[in-house]
Structure 1
Amino acid sequence: MNKLNISIIGVPTDYGQTRRGVDMGPSAIRYAGIVERLEAIGHDVQDQGDIRVSQKLADGAVDEKLLNLEEVVDVSTALANSVHEVVEQKKFPLVFGGDHSIAIGTLAGLGEHYKNLGVIWYDAHADLNTPETTPSGNIHGMPLAVSIGLGHERLVQIRNYAPKIKPENVIIIGARSVDPGERELIRQQGIKVYTMHEIDRLGMTRVMEDALAYLKERNVDGLHLSLDLDGLDPLYTPGVGTPVPGGITYRESHLAMEMLQESGMVTSAEFVEVNPILDEKNTTANVAVALMGSLFGETLV
């Protein structure tokens, strides 16, 4: 295992959706002992604290297709700048959400440093909606679309460039709730998806082997993991805002993290959608921390 210099960035925001509480996710993950766990593995860890998030909604008309746009733009811009600085310092950015809209900022901060960044999107949802296709107006359902250059200009152009990633370098793992507009976009953009059907039929080992081989063939020069805790079955992660039954198991998820660690390809990661208000005794945050342990090289012997 390579010793890493890890910089933790918390993003206490719930502006990307409408269920309160996910802004407390970074605190719950810290409370579950992530810093101590990563240090015990042997990594150097610097907790940079949280991005400052305004608690006051901006004045003005509400766009039902882009809820809390101003707030999401502000948070995403601040996060993008912080991630950019961490990568410039040759450190590993580890971002804690907050809802999944934070990926807009994470990828905006990463994209300038890579010519061919790969992304594994571990999630029950595709997060490929646009203002034209969204059924809810929640921006946490849009970050992947925004990052490939589709969506509202103010989101797409954070740090003044677009797209942040290439759609053919994205692999979605665990999808089981995909909206009609997202299905069409997946076909149009050539995005690789392993739904729960493929995971059940092939097994997680084969899925991860195929995904990593595909990214190696694409010659990616970095790999970002964006892990939404609702990618797992709600039996294991009850504290998420949009739970979908029939998800990835706890053990399958550990295996996926272990295989990512063994690949040596992962250069950044974010863990999102931990909502302590909906949780049971911090179970979901504890799962997040355990998965991070596997991703960063924790072993039993």
Structure 2
Amino acid sequence: MTKNKISIIGVPMDLGQSRRGVDMGPSALRYAGAIEKLEELKYQIYDLGDIPIIRPDKPNTDHDSKLKNLKQVVEANQKLSEMVDQEVTKGHFPLIFGGDHSIAIGSLAGISKHYDNLGVIWYDAHGDLNSSETSPSGNIHGMPLAVSLGIGDDKLTAIGDYVPKVKPENIVIIGARSLDLGERELIRNKGIQVYTMHEIDRLGMPAVMEEAIGYLQNRTDGVHLSLDLDGLDPSEAPGVGTPVIGGITYRESHLAMEMLEESSMLTSAEFVEVNPILDEKNKTATVAVGLMGSLFGEKLK
């Protein structure tokens, strides 16, 4: 795997949740200059465009699982899994633009088959560890990390034709501040490493990232970054569907990305939940592109 060749895949998905607009996230990121930023940093960019999303005539709920738009979410993630798999096989670095966070199901399904112990950094206000039994909403964007652990509806966990995609001991969640009761129980039972805002405030982002990087370096052979823009405070990233106040600052996030770049451990990444309809002059997409710059080696001097 080399980061010199980056394959960009857009997934204009808004069916994993109930607020319209996040399907325009990939376009917003491109409009904010993501490709130009990466080209300035001397990467060879392959923009593969957007995966077509087949919208139902009206929102639907699966009769058995009570999950919303299950069929369409499965189809899109299966296609994403196949595309990501192809790009990893070529030796390219997959960079996925969302779309709601349900697309991480396909990202991880396509990536993890290439690693024995894939690590995951889940940069998010939420754990996304719900299932149909614990979800208060039935929205699949609150489930991708659980699905990747092999927990949830069979149609979702079977994407990519293997289960699980990641091991609980290879996951680090950073920035959590809104966890449902079922998610908290799963975190305790599985021993998942979580740095809530309490740890970030108390220890500082440098210590949190040093610990997270050291933890994953000792046990993984590749690391995927799944960055939900709602991990940042809404004052910094207002254009997200499920904002939670008291989040990570823009500067702390830049530092986190810079430290990940210095670690040379990252093998894939995705940026999700950018919703231009809820945004202020594309501010959130611009923030995301700035973070991409730090993640891919942009320096002030």
In which range does the TM-score fall when normalised by the shorter chain?
A: over 0.9
User: In the alignment, which residue of structure 2 is the partner of 1:250?
Assistant: 250
Aligned length: 299
Name the aligned partner's letter for residue 71 of structure 1: Q
Give the Cα–Cα distance (whole angstroms) in 2 for the partners of residues 300 and 37 of structure 1.
Answer: 14
- For residues 207-246 of structure 1, the aligned pairs below 5 Å read 207-218=208-219, 220-246=220-246
Residues 21 and 144 (structure 1 numbering): CA distance in 2 closer, same or farther, change over 3 Å? same
User: In the alignment, which residue of structure 1 is the partner of 2:10?
Assistant: 10
Residues 155 and 3 (structure 1 numbering): CA distance in 2 closer, same or farther, change over 3 Å? closer
Please state how far the C-alpha of 1:159 moved relative to its aligned partner: 1.5
Residues 248 and 59 (structure 1 numbering): CA distance in 2 closer, same or farther, change over 3 Å? closer
Give the Cα–Cα distance (whole angstroms) in 2 for the partners of residues 142 and 260 of structure 1.
Answer: 25
Give the Cα–Cα distance (whole angstroms) in 2 for the partners of residues 153 and 62 of structure 1.
Answer: 13
Question: What root-mean-square deviation, in Å, do the aligned CA atoms of Structure 1 and Structure 2 show?
Answer: 1.3
Residues 136 and 59 (structure 1 numbering): CA distance in 2 closer, same or farther, change over 3 Å? closer
Give the Cα–Cα distance (whole angstroms) in 2 for the partners of residues 97 and 61 of structure 1.
Answer: 22
Gaps of 5+ in 2: none
Residues 61 and 203 (structure 1 numbering): CA distance in 2 closer, same or farther, change over 3 Å? closer
User: In the alignment, which residue of structure 1 is the partner of 2:207?
Assistant: 206
User: Quick check: 1:42 aligned with 2:42?
Assistant: yes
Residues 60 and 22 (structure 1 numbering): CA distance in 2 closer, same or farther, change over 3 Å? closer
SS in 2 for 1:158: coil
Give the Cα–Cα distance (whole angstroms) in 2 for the partners of residues 60 and 259 of structure 1.
Answer: 42
Give the Cα–Cα distance (whole angstroms) in 2 for the partners of residues 253 and 294 of structure 1.
Answer: 9
Residues 15 and 261 (structure 1 numbering): CA distance in 2 closer, same or farther, change over 3 Å? same
The TM-score normalised by the length of structure 1 is 0.97
Give the Cα–Cα distance (whole angstroms) in 2 for the partners of residues 212 and 58 of structure 1.
Answer: 43
Give the Cα–Cα distance (whole angstroms) in 2 for the partners of residues 59 and 31 of structure 1.
Answer: 28
User: In the alignment, which residue of structure 1 is the partner of 2:178?
Assistant: 177
List, as ranges, runs of 4+ consecutive aligned residues in structure 1 with deviation greater than 2 Å: 55-65
User: Quick check: 1:293 aligned with 2:281?
Assistant: no
SS in 2 for 1:87: helix
Q: % of aligned pairs identical?
A: 67
Please state how far the C-alpha of 1:65 moved relative to its aligned partner: 2.9
User: Quick check: 1:284 aligned with 2:256?
Assistant: no
Residue by residue, what CA displacement relative to the aligned partner does 1:119-139 show, whole Å, maximum 9, x if unpaired? Answer: 000000000001100001000
Name the aligned partner's letter for residue 122 of structure 1: Y
Give the Cα–Cα distance (whole angstroms) in 1 for the partners of residues 150 and 292 of structure 2.
Answer: 29
Give the Cα–Cα distance (whole angstroms) in 1 for the partners of residues 99 and 60 of structure 2.
Answer: 24
Give the Cα–Cα distance (whole angstroms) in 1 for the partners of residues 239 and 184 of structure 2.
Answer: 27
